[in-house]
Chain A
Amino acid sequence: TQLLEQSPQFLSIQEGENLTVYCNSSSVFSSLQWYRQEPGEGPVLLVTVVTGGEVKKLKRLTFQFGDARKDSSLHITAAQPGDTGLYLCAGQRRPPPGTYKYIFGTGTRLKVLA
């Protein structure tokens, strides 16, 4: 059972366009992270959000944690070819009742065309 569903699964856009990726769950998470992964490499952390309603910005990327800490979104402004990759969300449900394991989402594969 996949606790974190991401949408869309695939996204192909032109350079300069804006996009939003969603990460949804029916479970509450203590924290949620976003990663980007390129072929042949491990995921690289972009951001961690821990407070319901929290918004974080990283250059052209804006991350939001839902008020109920069950969902999150990643918005990219003016996408560039260098943004191409697999975007992953991951949630941690700390004890109690969880453990410190991370549950990853299903992934969104983004391709930005020049």
Chain B
Amino acid sequence: GAGVSQTPSNKVTEKGKYVELRCDPISGHTALYWYRQSLGQGPEFLIYFQGTGAADDSGLPNDRFFAVRPEGSVSTLKIQRTERGDSAVYLCASSLGTLGEQFFGPGTRLTVL
């Protein structure tokens, strides 16, 4: 069966540009999480959705970051006015519910030049 997929796998952009990162969760999974991981570090929580609503967005670093999940399935993480410090791997995970096992995608490597 299909796992969590993320697109693109790599994204190179210039400082100040806008980017969108997409996550396709496992079908039927109601919970969806976004994380950011810097090299050699553990993932840093950004936001999670239960259905269509953002249940906890306390990890978003600032108002340049925004995420949506309009139909309770696919989610998009949006970053405005990118900065070099935004460079990292962005991971998405989904689970059957908030207590279920998280299944991670392979991540999107974002590089801001």
Chain A residues within CB distance 8 Å of chain B: 4, 6, 31, 33, 40-45, 48, 86, 88, 90, 94, 99-107, 109
Contacts and interface: CB of A to CB of B under 8 A. Distances in A.
Interface residues of B, number: 26
B61 interface: no
A45 B48 contact: no
A83 B4 CA distance: 24
Contacts of A90: 42-43
Contact of B45 (A6, A94, A103): A103
Given A100-B99, A102-B33, A40 B106 contact: yes
Nearest to A105: B42
B102 A101 contact: no
Given A31-B99, A42-B93, 18 more contacts: A6-B42, A33-B102, A40-B106, A40-B107, A41-B106, A42-B104, A42-B105, A42-B106, A43-B104, A45-B102, A100-B98, A101-B33, A101-B48, A104-B42, A104-B45, A105-B42, A106-B41, A107-B41
Nearest to B44: A104
Contact of B42 (A42, A45, A101, A106): A106
Contacts of A99: 48, 55-56, 58
Contacts, number: 62
A33 B93 CA distance: 14
Interface in B79-111: 91, 93, 98-99, 101-102, 104-107
Contacts of A33: 102
Nearest to A88: B42
A86 B89 CA distance: 15
Interface in B40-69: 40-45, 48, 50, 55-56, 58-59
Nearest to A100: B98
- Which of A6, A40, A88, A101 neighbours the largest number of chain B CB atoms within 10 Å of its CB? A101
B43 A101 contact: no
Contacts of B55: 99-100
Contacts of A101: 33, 45, 48, 56, 58-59
